[in-house]
Amino acid sequence: MSLSSISIQRPVLAIVMSIIIIVFGVLGYTYLGIREFPSVDPPIITVSTSYVGANADVIESQITEPLEESVNGIAGIKSLTSSSRDGRSTITVEFDIDVDLEAAANDVRDRVSRSLSVLPPDIDMPIVAKADADATPIVFLNVQSDTRDLLQLTEIANNVFKERLQTINGVSSVQIWGEKKYAMRLWLDPAKLAAFQLSPVDVRNALNRENVELPSGRIEGDDTELSIRTIGRLQTEAEFDNLIVKEADGNIVRVKDIGYSQLGAENERTILRRDGVPMVGVVLISQAGANNIAIADEFYKRLEQIKKTLPPDIKTGIGFDITTFIRESIKEVEQTIIVAFALVVMIIFLFLRDWRTTIIPVLVIPISLIGAFFIMYVADFSINVLTLLGIVLAIGMVVDDAIIVLENIYTKIENKMDPVEAGKKGSAEIFFAVISTTIALAAVFMPVIFLQGITGRLFREFGIVVAGAVLISAFVALTLTPMLSSKILKRREKHNWFYNITEPFFVKLNETYQRQLKYFVANRRLAIPATIFAIILIYILFSTLPTELAPLEDRSRLSINVTAQEGATFEFMDRYIDEAVNILKEKIPEKEGLIYLTSTIGGADGSVKSGIVNVIL
């Protein structure tokens, strides 16, 4: 007994199987993340090493070159680039796209560990990080104040915003851009150091020796036990000024004798502004596979709660929100799905011209599409533009099997066969045709899995979604469609007015097709030149069309990078950036919400190296 016959005899079983597909699809949908494009981790490993106080030449010779020599021997490396600047070395290793990212990261870590013995002993431990497609900022919130400095804003950003936002489900980390941490700076006079026969190393050793807090044990008695704490950390400028650097022959040299202490920011080389006003930014980074839209929605809810408790001088604003583009892209594709579904239903009705025959294939479409979400969940995919485009394409394909089965059954009913018997015989006759067409369609899209490079990674989800939806549609067409046909379809002795009006057109259409088919069969030799012409035309059109990975998209953003001349100051760079912003304001039409984000990057000698202007419309 075939699957279709069982479904006809056991209609409840056929309905339950379709309901199970819907339930699993809905459950899978609730766990799917929402992204703009599929998550593709490029096989890129970055090795970052900090060496405070060293110039670029020392970084290059003592850190970058030894690490490059060690890492260069790993198999599968596509390119190896490095940058050495004051106090920091960065090596970027790009592997072939087919290389496993985890294995590549482990190989790089092993090579870096082998090189530690030849690196300077007082460097920070090298950090090996792999590129993560999800480790990109989702939302950028800027925090400003007219009365507070950046140090105080950083403290508020960390203690208020970061503490409340980092518990959002799906958030990997919360970063503070443009933050200024408190630090005690010791300004030393070279002449006084020479007079006391001291060097900056002596001051550093004195700090390491005196500015400590060590465990001191405990006091035990018969009835009590007390822990002892020796407070040895220096807190104020006066305490640092009175720090003893050297003591010899009864003479004491303190920090205030060779310089002075000043409480300030740890990093004074960079600054971030919005519309010319200094600020700090709170940035949300999502976890791999997280639902970015759900994260953004929860972020805005918590932001409204935080605003109620903020001091009146604190101002907040949204620098950017990438979920805006994700929402628009997903919304457009969803609209396309609705339009495609409506067009399919309309075309089916125009050709079948009966609501009973139209409702059966229409039921197959949502069941197959909803079931595709479960396949996406099992395959660890996400809801993105490409997977939804696969669903759009599948709308017209999943209905084919149901129409084939329906048409064969309806033909037998019109020939005065009992609907139940027509359902059994009609589905049995068309069973292998449905299976063969389904396998053929799935075979067309499944090879996308084996595509190499970024293109293969992106369109893998597209191909699997389409193939999975087609397979589900075949199952539904062989179970639910025969059962519904045996229950709903009836032979009509008299057709409706719409059928009678349109019947002459379809009769003429069939006759025209029959005449053309007979002519082409009689002149079979025309097939060869027609095929050759089509191949040549395809080649010409394919070679002349421009190629790109994805269409260009206007996201209303403009970035200007400015490199300063040698010896430029922050004041000079600020004036230069202000002039650039004024020119942009003249050229760009004023729009509501126009934002200018500027940042300035300084060098080790206190001069300005570069500036960046980001314009967000």
Q: What's the CA gap between 187 and 181, in Å, rounded? A: 18
How many C-beta neighbours within 10 Å does residue 24 have? 17
Q: What's the CA gap between 97 and 568, in Å, rounded? A: 42
* Residues 349 and 355: beta-carbon distance below 8 Å: yes
Predicted confidence at residue 337, as pLDDT, reads 80
Q: What's the CA gap between 270 and 608, in Å, rounded? A: 9
Residue 166 DSSP code: T
Predicted confidence at residue 535, as pLDDT, reads 93
Render pLDDT for 333-388 as a digit per residue (tens, 0 to 9). 778 888 888 887 888 788 877 777 788 877 878 888 888 899 988 888 888 888 88
Predicted confidence at residue 585, as pLDDT, reads 65
Instruction: With CA atoms as reference, report the closest residue to 366 among 28, 29, 25, 34.
Output: 25
Q: Which residues of the chain have pLDDT under 70?
A: 1, 41, 131-135, 269, 275-276, 289, 453, 492-493, 549-578, 580-617
Predicted confidence at residue 604, as pLDDT, reads 40
* Residues 438 and 474: beta-carbon distance below 8 Å: yes
Percent of the chain with pLDDT over 90: 4
Predicted confidence at residue 536, as pLDDT, reads 94
Q: What's the CA gap between 442 and 469, in Å, rounded? A: 9
- In angstroms, the first-to-last Cα distance of the chain is 65
Predicted confidence at residue 606, as pLDDT, reads 42
Output the DSSP codes for 260-324.
EEEEEES--SEEEEETTEE-EEEEEEEPTT--HHHHHHHHHHHHHHHHTTS-TTEEEEEEEETHH
Render pLDDT for 577-605 as a digit per residue (tens, 0 to 9). 667 666 666 666 554 444 555 554 444 44
Predicted confidence at residue 132, as pLDDT, reads 61
* Coil/strand/helix, residue 598: strand
Output the DSSP codes for 513-547.
HHHHHHHHHHTGGGHHHHHHHHHHHHHHHHHHS--
| Pure H helices in 124-236 | 150-156, 163-165, 190-195, 200-210
Predicted confidence at residue 603, as pLDDT, reads 45
Q: What is the dihedral of CA 500, 501, 505, 506, to 10 degrees?
A: -30
